[in-house]
Amino acid sequence: MPVAIVDGMRQDQIWDVDAAARYDTPDAGMFAPEVLGPAVNRLAALAGSGRALEFAIGTGRVAIPLRELGVRVTGIELSTPMIDRLRTKADEATIPVFAGDMTTVVAPGEYSLVYLVFNTIANLLTQAEQVACFRNAARHLVPGGRFVIELWVPDLRRLPPGQQAAVWRCEPGYIALQTYDVVRQHVVSHHFTFDESRNALLVRCPLRYIWPAELDLMAQLAGFELESRHADWSGSDFTAESRSHVSVYHLPPGR
């Protein structure tokens, strides 16, 4: 499957050595215990005694603590620099990783859980790729197995009429804004970090946003049924005001 390009950026070029070096923020941001702990605990409960497969395993943010809870974890990852960084923390015997695209790469064995966290399905920039991701998850699961996706809810209410960009975070030393192509459901996140000097660092990331109902249809195309949807890993109710969701899909036991 060809690599999609948005605004001149390719996903396999974005997650380079510099991105991998910046990715880990121990005990802060998405690595903060109050963020990571509920996710790992929920995934461990869903995996049970079975094996887990993480699509886009990255540097092992989730996989390593999940393995420490006794869950056997395997990963698929497109970025070689991200795999290299993971290898400084866990060897191949502890967490096997297969390099390549999560829409097509097959990891040997059968799994009771496949999971995809922190909005990463949106890194696939076409609807066809996102559907292929669901189908690849189904390919790995035993009957009754689950596919878990953590994803943000598109917040186009922030976008003023006639405008293509909206600021979504502003704090000392950091501004983030998003530019939208609402026809193709593409968004580019622009992250600016700066200090007292005149210079700033800009990091951009292209995404394809997915509405929850569209995600459910993708799941049906791959043979899944929606089991649950919550606003977070702790199980809060999902409402019209929720900014994100954790959706659990399962394969019917008779499949």
pLDDT cut 90: percent of the chain above it: 81
Class of the domain covering 5-153+210-250:
alpha beta
pLDDT at 3: 45
Q: Which residues pair with 175 in a beta bridge?
A: 170, 192
Indicate the pLDDT class of residue 8, thresholds 50, 70 and 90. low
Q: In what order do the strands lie in the sheet with 186-194?
A: 165-171, 174-181, 186-194, 200-208
Over 90: is that where the pLDDT of 229 sits?
A: yes
Most distant CA atoms of the chain, gap in Å: 62
pLDDT at 9: 55
Every domain of the chain and the residues it spans: 5-153+210-250, 156-205
Residue with the bigger pLDDT between 179 and 162: it is 179
Give the model confidence (pLDDT) of 142-177 as tens digits: 999 999 999 999 988 888 888 899 998 999 999 999
Q: What is the DSSP code (8-state) at residue 30?
A: G
Q: At what angle do helices 127-140 and 212-221 cross, to 10 degrees?
A: 50
pLDDT at 255: 64
